[in-house]
Structure 1
């Protein structure tokens, strides 16, 4: 057993209101410079929909992530000789049209226009070319709140092969919001595909970063990432991605998207995992991938795990944080959070609590799970998104969330709660009380349990953690990237 620590995130989709505050704050902090106008390290998609970039989930097209050959996980994008052979050609890489052409409006016309009979208008123009655009036809959030015709949204790969009859009618449709960022995977395909060796995963906290000194702009990482969360900056000829706000994490503060979240849907915490099992577990049969990834996460209260963690260089404050981790509770203890598309075999570490859409009679014990099966958001869709098609575990998680609502409503109104409901959901009153405190009324320190840097370090050692990210020779006048 080789114990490592991972700072991970859980997002409660049942509470996300689609306000995009997380996207805007991330944009202002990390991608507001030249060359990154089109890039959103964090974006919020409306599902069902094809997302940003378009159809990013269609791995038949993009060939991202891993596949199993001869019992081992290998890059779908190709092995190292294959990657080296196509350095100057990236046929599986998204084009600008798959993202969108960044645009703004000619607001000076509104501010400086002379008095006239008709009101002046601000015409759109391209940030990339500086030329006027006839009309805006696309954007990173084009499907927000079910915008656009159903024919376009129905191209969502998660709907492939399902009966979509009726969903084209607004009254019968379903939707929820899906915030997305880099998954900071345990088995990152981007790192394995990089010809320059520029992408690395920090052993201290599991954050995946790109060494900007080593990056040569080959962009194979973009093709290999199944989540399409690496972006190419043409102004710098470098690939860039979400850095999990690691300068804040090192100081014990949450990521900017987490702190700014209006709905308080994000949770940050430490989990300990067995690094020796990654290769074997990533090659597991598709229907076992979620359970295998769950098995990777170790019990921080186990004395044997604690001794192994200390032996492998994990500090006591990380072990303490793992014991108080909200993400551990949601992922491992209560089993109500799930990884995004585990079938990509990257072992992602941003997990999601599935959304509820009550329908039926869940408060009647005999019809409890029948009501869950009749919910507006199909179990099949959620399973394709979060568990590689395993509807059973999604059904069990939704059952716990429904039982939580019934239990708290009963306590608030003084109604008697049938013990059969708790038994069917597989939860106790004590567990439901703890779940309520974390999911509904948790304050800042409960949602974000983040240890500071793994050990007391000299300033030079902290800079060493940030290899190639601009902090070593920072231009004090022009900022992190020399004014670009």
Structure 2
């Protein structure tokens, strides 16, 4: 057993306002340089919809993530020979129109224009070549709040899978917000695909970074990432991505997107996992079993044997204690109400989502009675099949259980505060949910009124690694060398050299 630590983020989609504050603050801190105009390390998508870049979930087109081939885990984009043959032409990259062409406006025309018969206009021009362009036609969350529209909703690959179950009539439309950032995966395809070994996963906290000095701009990382969260800087000719605000994490502070989130939907905490089982779990044959297999990777931080082995392997008590207090461990492992995004990509993502509940009202706008909650879950306005397509590779059972537990939490707290709950219906719901009242009360506190230090449990980093944490050289991935490119950043590495 090789115990590793990972900082995990959980997002409660029920509380997301779609305000994009997280995106703007991340943009201002990390991606406001020339060449990074179109980069949104964090973006909020309206679902159903095509996402950003357009249809990033269409892996038949973009070839992202891993697949099982003859029982062996390989990159969907091909092996080393395939990358070598396409090293000067990568055919599976999103084009600039799938993002948007960075532009600005010729404001000098307004300020310096001579007197004319007609009022001057500030025309948009491309920041790529400086030429005038037509009005912008696409961008991040261009379909903001338009999930019910047949044009944008029909572009969602998840909708295409469920055409028989989902109708797009106006009265049956549904909508949710989906914030996205790099998943800092346990089995990162971007790391495995990089010919230069420039992308690496840090040993001490699991953050995946790009070494700007080693990057050669081949862009195979962009193809391999199924979430399309690696970007190419057209000014520096280097790849960049979300850094998970690692300077803040090292200091015990949350990421900027978490710190500034208006809805307080984000939670951060460490999880212990067994790195020796990553290949086994990622190679799970049935896609629908990947979610449960991923959960089996996580270790119980209260287990005396795990604690003893973690200490023996050099993991500090601060991280062990952090894993015991981690809100991520409670939501993901203990309560099982948070799920990874598209586990079928086999990257083992470390960003988890609590699925949203539809408005719990009947047709007359009245609160549903407790007797109606269980049938309501099976007939939600946001279909279980759609949520399962996003979070559990199509398996609706875990999603249904999570939603039942979220409803049980609400009913239990209503019983405590108001008391007008039918006892038989209450007991039936509690039995179906499978959690104790004390767990529901703890869940309620964490999801609604938790303090800052309860939402963000981040041990400070140890920047003095032992000898067994030496830097590994070369590319990474089970397909190539069967060993992760865990790497500890040199102490004198400046922030500007990491993206």
Q: Do the two structures share a fold, i.e. TM-score over 0.5? A: yes
Using a 3 Å threshold, how does the CA distance of structure 1 residues 304 and 237 change in structure 2: closer, same or farther? same
Distance, in Å, in 1 between the alignment partners of 2:492 and 2:310 is: 30
Distance, in Å, in 2 between the alignment partners of 1:108 and 1:426 is: 65
- Which residue in 1 is equivalent to 2:395? 390
1:277-356 pair list within 5 angstroms: 277-284=277-284, 285-356=286-357
Using a 3 Å threshold, how does the CA distance of structure 1 residues 163 and 457 change in structure 2: closer, same or farther? closer
Deviates more, 1:287-296 or 1:64-73: 64-73
- Which residue in 1 is equivalent to 2:461? 453
**Match 2:376 to one of 363, 371, 389:** 371
Distance, in Å, in 1 between the alignment partners of 2:493 and 2:275 is: 33
Distance, in Å, in 1 between the alignment partners of 2:312 and 2:402 is: 35
Secondary structure in 1 matching 2:281: helix
1:122 deviates by 4.0
1:101-131 per-residue CA deviation (whole Å, 9 max, x = no partner) reads: 1123344555666898977654333222323
Using a 3 Å threshold, how does the CA distance of structure 1 residues 108 and 264 change in structure 2: closer, same or farther? farther
1:461-476 pair list within 5 angstroms: 465-467=488-490, 472=492
Deviates more, 1:85-94 or 1:421-430: 421-430
1:313 deviates by 1.6
Matched, 1:3 2:3: yes
Matched, 1:413 2:418: yes
**Match 2:445 to one of 422, 427, 437:** 437
1:163 deviates by 3.3
Using a 3 Å threshold, how does the CA distance of structure 1 residues 169 and 113 change in structure 2: closer, same or farther? farther
Matched, 1:177 2:177: yes
Secondary structure in 2 matching 1:343: helix
Task: Assess if the C-alpha contact under 8 Å between 1:359 and 1:372 holds in 2.
Answer: no
1:404 deviates by 1.4
1:64-75 pair list within 5 angstroms: 64-75=64-75
1:312 deviates by 1.6
Distance, in Å, in 2 between the alignment partners of 1:63 and 1:355 is: 29
Matched, 1:258 2:258: yes
Distance, in Å, in 2 between the alignment partners of 1:412 and 1:94 is: 52
- Which residue in 1 is equivalent to 2:483? none
Task: Assess if the C-alpha contact under 8 Å between 1:167 and 1:174 holds in 2.
Answer: no
- Which residue in 1 is equivalent to 2:229? 229
Secondary structure in 1 matching 2:191: helix
1:43-70 per-residue CA deviation (whole Å, 9 max, x = no partner) reads: 1000000111111001111111000122
Deviates more, 1:165-174 or 1:433-442: 165-174
Q: Calculate the TM-score normalised by the size of structure 1.
A: 0.92
1:301 deviates by 0.3
Deviates more, 1:333-342 or 1:159-168: 159-168
Using a 3 Å threshold, how does the CA distance of structure 1 residues 248 and 166 change in structure 2: closer, same or farther? closer
Task: Assess if the C-alpha contact under 8 Å between 1:166 and 1:173 holds in 2.
Answer: no
Query: Could you say what the CA RMSD is over the residues aligned between the two structures, in angstroms?
Result: 2.6
Task: Assess if the C-alpha contact under 8 Å between 1:290 and 1:387 holds in 2.
Answer: yes
Secondary structure in 1 matching 2:132: coil
Distance, in Å, in 2 between the alignment partners of 1:161 and 1:238 is: 35
Q: Calculate the TM-score normalised by the size of structure 2.
A: 0.89
Distance, in Å, in 2 between the alignment partners of 1:23 and 1:127 is: 21
Deviates more, 1:388-397 or 1:161-170: 161-170
Secondary structure in 2 matching 1:67: strand
Using a 3 Å threshold, how does the CA distance of structure 1 residues 481 and 294 change in structure 2: closer, same or farther? closer
Secondary structure in 2 matching 1:356: coil
1:433 deviates by 0.7
Task: Assess if the C-alpha contact under 8 Å between 1:358 and 1:372 holds in 2.
Answer: no
Distance, in Å, in 2 between the alignment partners of 1:153 and 1:372 is: 23
Using a 3 Å threshold, how does the CA distance of structure 1 residues 265 and 117 change in structure 2: closer, same or farther? farther
1:63-98 per-residue CA deviation (whole Å, 9 max, x = no partner) reads: 110001222211111111221221111001111111
Secondary structure in 1 matching 2:267: strand
Question: For this pair of structures, how many residues does the alignment match?
Answer: 474
1:8-407 pair list within 5 angstroms: 8-108=8-108, 121-146=121-146, 149-163=149-163, 167-284=167-284, 285-359=286-360, 364=369, 366-407=371-412
1:456 deviates by 6.2
Distance, in Å, in 2 between the alignment partners of 1:287 and 1:165 is: 19
Task: Assess if the C-alpha contact under 8 Å between 1:125 and 1:133 holds in 2.
Answer: yes
Secondary structure in 2 matching 1:144: coil
Task: Assess if the C-alpha contact under 8 Å between 2:159 and 2:166 holds in 1.
Answer: no
Distance, in Å, in 2 between the alignment partners of 1:113 and 1:357 is: 53
Task: Assess if the C-alpha contact under 8 Å between 2:446 and 2:454 holds in 1.
Answer: yes
Gaps of 5+ in 2: 472-486
Using a 3 Å threshold, how does the CA distance of structure 1 residues 205 and 150 change in structure 2: closer, same or farther? same
Task: Assess if the C-alpha contact under 8 Å between 1:107 and 1:122 holds in 2.
Answer: yes
Distance, in Å, in 1 between the alignment partners of 2:121 and 2:404 is: 52
Using a 3 Å threshold, how does the CA distance of structure 1 residues 59 and 118 change in structure 2: closer, same or farther? same
Using a 3 Å threshold, how does the CA distance of structure 1 residues 72 and 473 change in structure 2: closer, same or farther? closer
Distance, in Å, in 1 between the alignment partners of 2:408 and 2:116 is: 63
1:372 deviates by 0.6
Distance, in Å, in 1 between the alignment partners of 2:335 and 2:74 is: 32
Task: Assess if the C-alpha contact under 8 Å between 2:414 and 2:421 holds in 1.
Answer: no
